[in-house]
Amino acid sequence: MGLARDARILKDGELFVVSDERGDLRRTLPGAGVYARDTRFLSELWLLLNGEEPELFDSSAERTNTAIFEFGNAVFRDEEGRDILAHTISLRRCRSVRRGTLDEELVLENYNAFDITVELAFVFAADFLDIFEVRGFPRERPRGRILLPQQQDHSLRLAYRAPDDVLLETEIVFSRQPDTVTTEPSATHLSELALPRMLLPGHDQLIRAPGMIHPPRAFVLFHLKLPSHGRERLALRIAPRELLERRIAVRVPDVSRLTEPVEPPTYSFARARTDHELFDRVLQRSLDDLRALLTPFPGGRLVAAGIPWFVAPFGRDSLIVSLQMMLFAPELALETLRFLARYQGRKHDPWTEEEPGKILHELRFGEMVRLGETPHSPYYGTVDATPLFIVTFCEVMDWVGTPALFDELFPAVQAALHWIDQHGDHNGDGFIDYGRISPRGLVHQNWKDSHNSLLFPDGRDPVPPIAAVEVQGYVYQAKRALAAVLQRFGKPSHQVLVARLRAEAEQLRARFEQRFWSESDQFYGQAIDGQGRLVPAISSNPGHCLWSEIIGPERAARVVERLFRSDLYSGWGIRTLASTMPHYNPMSYHNGSIWPHDNALIIAGLRRYGYHREALRLASDLLEVAVSFPYYRLPELFCGFGRDEAECMVPISYPVSCSPQAWAAGTMPFLLRIMLGAEARAAERRLTLRPAFPDWLTEVEIRRLRFAGTTLDLAVRRQAGRYTLEVEADPGITVVLAGSSDDFRR
């Protein structure tokens, strides 16, 4: 399900709201609503001024938890029979989400030379749909019963009794008592409604659309007297009861309090400044988005994958974001590891695809999960989260590791390693692979998880179990990195494991080079299927293998050359699939689109192999992309049309994407680390920088960088092709500038 490009999205904690550019929640905007814990607690909210929609002048949701909407009145006749001209009454709608509630203040100002009484009407409705239903997934069981709206003094109550007898409520409280409240009866047994069939974007299967579910509406009317050149205020607060486990009181809103600026949620990131204003704006946008996506869940806090459809814990997404943010907040990765360790697989369960040691894919809390209609309690259908868990652990140990932290997390790492070795290879060919087990599970379980993201050139589907090319690199990286961490933090008894891990990594590398390389294409295939056949799709996936360093130097050169041919490189980035492939589509989800996080991992790999020019070219492309999108926000993905195509003077947006999205938000912080070439060794209290800046960047300052139990400030500057370093750090911390010139440019 797509969102309109002019949708306004706000989030704080577990609560988020999706509205149109007017701030309204309407049936005409798919997905509009107020959400929490995977439930839509309000599906309609719109307003009328004297029976007409006020004219929208402008709106903005640049801040992640605050939006402003500016309106002017349409022509109307007042109670005294006077014709009131258009644009003589202003209406400002100020919305914020914070501490589990949606607050809204309306300020009306009369610019006429006489007093006017106006009617301000609100329409409310709540369907209490599970977010899977909102996205179009079919129900297997009848839904519960929606109760009729109830008014009491200043408040309005919307409620729903679920089939498992859970009561969900939405409390709407006004700063003054409404003049009238009326209700519109509608169907309350929603399971009997005939729903149209539609295509969910990225899928070919027909599914039911939720657009015809119409819960009862409540109409709330206020009469407001506006003095000449005076103003009047009205405030309301919307509180989903599922968020009130902490017993937050729902009170009549204090209008004076609502007018105060709303500060975004705080999280301590390192501070960065460069001499490039646009880069700084994109970077700040990214950090603000990541703060907004940081969400408290049962079991801990971590970055949700994206708004609106993926405000949930995702193993792969949270781990990649943690790696992207290591320079700015290594504690974020630590929180992520602890959270995922709490939910680490303990048993074999075909419904959820849980296995001992496996890291979860997705965790949900809505009605369909409670009733057992979906396996997301959590669902473990991911092949790459488990090796990425080990990779992230090793990065955390390098940045902030201590013996105590090693002892705390190593049992979970051992369990993850056990899953890789004992459960990850289903057909014994020496490669970690996947195949759907749960009837409601994912067909593809690597990062390109849409149903048609992996095809033979003739359109045939590969036969599971499927070994994805980039996942072998993750396993190789995990084993090599873990061996190094064990050398630094492990006990003498771990040295046997160190030798084993290194040997297994080299054996995997040899098998990988033998089986995944295509001589005819001079490139790595996208996967090997269960019948041992190489899927010879030319894709971005092997670019991740540069990041994991599983590729030998000679073939790495061929991979880099192939990535930058015009069928893969669009001028804006590396496509997910080459335009020469039969199933290429630049408007598809995974078969020709461009993903910023995908490119960021490729950029990291290019730097590791010494391809600095190519890395900086891609980094510059991504900056241009970010600047071209609203709020300087990198999108989750965008279309793969070439920069040289007449219709592609700017990157073309993809209509079905999350905004903000975690991987995309983590890209710019990650690029800054890549450009600095920052590599940490907490055990040695040594931070090494190998800077390589693009032409548009000459200075980077970072303050309060967390490393080895302390914080430090540093500044790297380039002048006449040479780099200099300034550091303020505690005694015993060593920061080294290696490779202090731009020799690679010559």
Residue 304 above 90 pLDDT? yes
Residue 659 confidence class, pLDDT cut points 50, 70, 90: confident
Q: C-alpha distances in angstroms, 313 versus 40, 285, 479, 637?
A: 18, 22, 25, 20
Write down the pLDDT at residue 647: 63
pTM score: 0.93
Residue 251 above 50 pLDDT? no
Write down the pLDDT at residue 645: 78
Residue 261 above 60 pLDDT? no
Residue 209 confidence class, pLDDT cut points 50, 70, 90: very low
Question: Phi then psi for 292, rounded to 5 degrees?
Answer: -65, -35
Residue 736 lies in a domain: no
Q: Are residues 336 and 220 in the same domain?
A: no
Interior angle at CA 66, CA 65 and CA 72, nearest 5: 155
Q: Given 213, 229, 258, which residue is the final one in a domain?
A: 258
Residue 263 lies in a domain: no
Q: Given 624, 653, 682, which residue is the final one in a domain?
A: 682
Beta bridge mates, 702: 272, 714
- Tens digits of residue pLDDT in 128-168: 999 999 999 989 899 999 999 999 999 999 999 999 999 99
| CB of 498 closer than 8 Å to CB of 483 | yes
Q: C-alpha distances in angstroms, 208 versus 18, 114, 212, 443, 451?
A: 21, 53, 10, 20, 18
Residue 264 above 50 pLDDT? no
Structure tokens at 479: 């084993």
Q: Are residues 613 and 580 in the same domain?
A: yes
Residue 657 confidence class, pLDDT cut points 50, 70, 90: confident
Residue 49 lies in a domain: yes
**Averaged over 709-721, what is the pLDDT?**
96
Structure tokens at 673: 């680390």
Q: Given 231, 258, 285, which residue is the final one in a domain?
A: 258
Q: Are residues 198 and 117 in the same domain?
A: yes
Residue 709 lies in a domain: no
Write down the pLDDT at residue 257: 41
**Averaged over 291-308, what is the pLDDT?**
94
Instruction: Give one DSSP letter per residue of 514-527, joined into a string.
Output: HHHEETTTTEE-SE
Write down the pLDDT at residue 2: 53
Residue 211 confidence class, pLDDT cut points 50, 70, 90: very low
Three state DSSP letters for 366-394: CHHHHCCCCCCCCECCCCCHHHHHHHHHH
**Averaged over 506-532, what is the pLDDT?**
99
Q: Are residues 245 and 276 in the same domain?
A: no
Residue 711 lies in a domain: no
- Tens digits of residue pLDDT in 551-569: 999 999 999 999 999 999 9
Residue 451 lies in a domain: yes
Structure tokens at 467: 């070994």
What mean pLDDT value characterizes the chain? 92
| CB of 129 closer than 8 Å to CB of 139 | no
- Tens digits of residue pLDDT in 485-509: 999 999 999 999 999 999 999 999 9
Residue 744 above 80 pLDDT? no
**Averaged over 390-416, what is the pLDDT?**
98
Residue in this structure with the two tokens 């080299």, named with its chain if needed = 506
**Averaged over 652-664, what is the pLDDT?**
90
Residue 438 above 70 pLDDT? yes
Nearest to 680 by CA among 700, 701, 708, 703: 708
Write down the pLDDT at residue 294: 96
Q: C-alpha distances in angstroms, 136 versus 189, 212, 364, 499?
A: 18, 12, 16, 50
Q: Are residues 490 and 602 in the same domain?
A: yes
Q: Are residues 398 and 516 in the same domain?
A: yes
Q: Are residues 224 and 185 in the same domain?
A: yes
Residue 627 lies in a domain: yes
CA distance 475 to 483: 12
Residue 743 confidence class, pLDDT cut points 50, 70, 90: low
Domain hosting residue 242, numbered range: 8-258
Write down the pLDDT at residue 378: 98
DSSP-derived secondary structure letter, 462: P
**Averaged over 635-649, what is the pLDDT?**
86
Write down the pLDDT at residue 247: 35
Instruction: Give one DSSP letter per residue of 685-700, joined into a string.
Output: TEEEE-----TT--EE
Residue 745 above 60 pLDDT? no
Q: 391-407: string of b/e by CB count within 10 Å (b at 16+)?
A: bbbbbbbbbbbeeebbe
Strand, helix or coil for residue 27: coil
Write down the pLDDT at residue 649: 80
Strand, helix or coil for residue 676: helix
Residues in the chain: 746
Q: Are residues 207 and 236 in the same domain?
A: yes
Residue 644 confidence class, pLDDT cut points 50, 70, 90: confident
Question: Phi then psi for 479, rounded to 5 degrees?
Answer: -70, -40
Q: Are residues 238 and 311 in the same domain?
A: no
**Averaged over 67-73, what is the pLDDT?**
99
Write down the pLDDT at residue 679: 98
Write down the pLDDT at residue 655: 83
Instruction: Give pairs for 451-456: CB < 8 Å, separation 24+.
Output: 451/202, 451/203, 451/204, 451/205, 452/204, 452/583, 452/588, 452/590, 452/591, 453/576, 453/589, 453/590, 453/591, 454/526, 454/527, 454/535, 454/537, 455/535, 455/537, 455/583, 456/533, 456/535, 456/536, 456/537
Write down the pLDDT at residue 692: 97
CA distance 128 to 131: 9
Q: Are residues 575 and 621 in the same domain?
A: yes
Write down the pLDDT at residue 678: 98
Q: Are residues 576 and 446 in the same domain?
A: yes
Residue 658 confidence class, pLDDT cut points 50, 70, 90: confident
Residue 289 above 50 pLDDT? yes
Structure tokens at 120: 């301000």
- Tens digits of residue pLDDT in 78-130: 989 999 999 999 999 999 999 899 999 999 999 999 999 999 999 999 999 99
Write down the pLDDT at residue 30: 86
392 against 255, higher pLDDT: 392
Q: Are residues 405 and 338 in the same domain?
A: yes
**What CATH number did the domain enclosing 309 receive?**
1.50.10.10
Write down the pLDDT at residue 187: 40
Residue 666 above 50 pLDDT? yes
**What CATH number did the domain enclosing 221 receive?**
2.70.98.40
Write down the pLDDT at residue 212: 46
| CB of 325 closer than 8 Å to CB of 670 | yes
**Averaged over 544-550, what is the pLDDT?**
99
Residue 541 lies in a domain: yes
Number of domain units in the chain: 2
Residue 201 confidence class, pLDDT cut points 50, 70, 90: very low
